[in-house]
């Protein structure tokens, strides 16, 4: 018998919303809190668990149901929130000492919308400090572990959210994706993760890393579940001028017959990748072709510039955004006799090595005499890359690639080699640079039992169609979320 917390989100919420059913929001919250208490000591997916607040919110929702009030499509569903998103009354640390003691007075727009839809926030999840990393090892409060192998990383920077969903601690989670930080951990943890079209979801209340790249998106065990959360959080927001309205889905049927799947040469898993990942992509494509889809070979040479462009643009914007954490206007303070020394000591004490590295890179790229050679040139290539990708979508409906060229790697394996860590994002950064949506979904396991993910890319604004297609791909391949053995230790 399926535990209520493991039901599809739509069924879970419908049962809570029905006063005759007997399933209460309080039941789901208690189940989530029990799992967190039993498993998170080994995973370290959460930085803060709000048991009291979650119980209070669940009781209020159950009271509304008893009064016959409408409670929304996420009624009673426990939600984990990445700790770079504001939740009123809960610590907001970005996994950094620089924000120690900060508690925001109001919710991020996405959190407010999720709460209005009935979701119950159970806690804040771990991340790479200020969302800079691909392993969730750069947290000032300790690394998160992969539920499928506690000696390996869950990916990053949203590794806490991915691990929480994969281990069944919460059925839904919010993360942020700047260069792959939702999709890569989703792939390494065997779940669904969606990076929305830029501007589709508000960034209000998200602590900025790289403002022209960041997007908030959902984690879930299934594409249908992710789509429900995506519908709840998206839409224009007067508090974020970059948001925009999108037309409703065109209603393209889920049938794969006639679907044109782009196979981009530059997105193929090369010799430096894992052959089992490449094989999983090949099997997925073959399963779709067997059901009527057509493969369209493509070459987008500018894709090879994705990593160099990203690691100019993202650090440059990071340098600008994190300038306010100086111990005076914002952030933890280390006193000094002179103002310059106060700035230097506060930032040195507050920021970890990876954040400092990216600030230095970005400051250099924006400095006088170098901005034209680096930042402006990177932005020019970025524009050309966006146009090249639009040209690819003129020839196909979606692209399908691996999400990560390798499965989860061992903790500490890449910690001393920043370039090797950066290359973990080689298959994901281009979607952020171009602003297009992309969804990672499970594509099986390696012989060692580690999850592998494939990535669907769609044209601008095709988020809901892409998530619907992800569900169709799951049905065609028969590959879906499988709980790690760890999750079986607690009901």
The catalytic site residues sit at: 82, 157, 181
Burial category of 248 from C-beta neighbours within 10 Å (exposed 0-12, middle 13-18, buried 19 and up): exposed
Q: DSSP assignment, residue 258?
A: T
CB atoms within 10 A of CB 278: 17
Separation CA 452–CA 157 (nearest Å)? 18
Tokens 């579940």 appear where?
A: 225
Pair of tokens at residue 192 = 């669904």
- Dist. CA 166–CA 486, nearest whole Å: 10
Would you say 214 and 182 are in contact if contact means Cβ atoms under 8 Å apart?
A: no
Q: Name 51's Cβ contacts closer than 8 Å, sequence gap at least 6.
A: 33, 122
Cβ atoms of residues 214 and 177 within 8 Å: yes
Cα separation of 413 and 425, whole Å? 16
The closest alpha carbon to 119, from 25, 203, 195, belongs to 25
Measured CA to CA, the distance from residue 78 to residue 55 in angstroms comes to: 11
Beta bridge partners of 234: 201
């Amino acid at each position: 018998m399926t535990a209520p917390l493991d039901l599809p989100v739509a069924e879970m919420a419908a049962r809570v919303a029905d006063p005759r059913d007997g399933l209460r929001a309080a039941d789901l919250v208690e189940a989530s809190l029990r799992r967190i208490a039993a498993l998170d000591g080994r995973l370290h997916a959460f930085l803060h668990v709000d048991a009291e607040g979650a119980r209070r919110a669940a009781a209020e929702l159950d009271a509304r149901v008893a009064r016959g009030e409408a409670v929304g499509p996420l009624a009673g569903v426990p939600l984990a929130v990445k700790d770079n998103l504001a939740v009123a009354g809960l610590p907001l640390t970005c996994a950094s000492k620089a924000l120690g003691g900060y508690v925001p007075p109001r919710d991020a727009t996405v959190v407010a919308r999720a709460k209005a839809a009935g979701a119950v926030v159970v806690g804040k999840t771990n991340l790479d400090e200020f969302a800079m990393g691909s392993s969730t090892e750069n947290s000032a409060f300790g690394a998160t572990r992969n539920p499928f192998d506690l000696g390996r990383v869950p990916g990053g920077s949203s590794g806490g959210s991915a691990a929480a969903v994969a281990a069944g601690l919460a059925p839904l989670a919010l993360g942020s994706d700047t260069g792959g930080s939702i999709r890569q951990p989703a792939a390494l943890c065997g779940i669904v993760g969606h990076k929305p079209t830029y501007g589709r979801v508000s960034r209000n209340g998200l602590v900025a890393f790289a403002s022209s790249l960041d997007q908030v998106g959902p984690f879930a065990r299934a594409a249908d579940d992710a789509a429900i959360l995506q519908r709840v959080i998206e839409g224009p927001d007067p508090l974020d001028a970059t948001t925009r309205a999108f037309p409703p889905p065109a209603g393209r049927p889920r049938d794969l017959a006639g679907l044109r799947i782009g196979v981009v040469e530059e997105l193929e898993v090369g010799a430096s990748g894992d052959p089992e990942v490449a094989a999983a992509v090949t099997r997925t494509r073959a399963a779709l072709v067997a059901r009527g889809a057509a493969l369209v070979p493509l070459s987008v040479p500018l894709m090879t510039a994705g990593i160099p462009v990203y690691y100019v643009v993202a650090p440059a914007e990071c340098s600008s955004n994190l300038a306010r954490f100086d111990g005076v206007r914002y952030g933890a303070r280390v006193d000094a006799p002179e103002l310059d020394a106060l700035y230097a000591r506060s930032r040195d004490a507050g920021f970890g090595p990876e954040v400092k590295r990216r600030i230095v890179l970005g400051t250099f790229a924006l400095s006088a005499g170098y901005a034209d050679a680096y930042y402006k040139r990177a932005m020019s290539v970025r524009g050309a890359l966006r146009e090249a990708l639009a040209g690819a979508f003129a020839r196909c409906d979606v692209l399908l690639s691996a999400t990560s060229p390798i499965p989860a790697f061992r903790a500490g394996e890449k910690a001393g080699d920043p370039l090797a860590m950066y290359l973990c994002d080689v298959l994901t950064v281009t979607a952020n640079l171009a602003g297009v949506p992309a969804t990672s979904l499970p594509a099986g396991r390696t012989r060692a039992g580690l999850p592998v993910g494939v990535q669907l890319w769609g044209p601008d604004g095709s988020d809901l169609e892409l998530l619907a297609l992800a569900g169709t791909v799951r049905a065609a391949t028969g590959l879906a979320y499988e709980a790690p053995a760890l999750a079986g230790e607690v009901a």
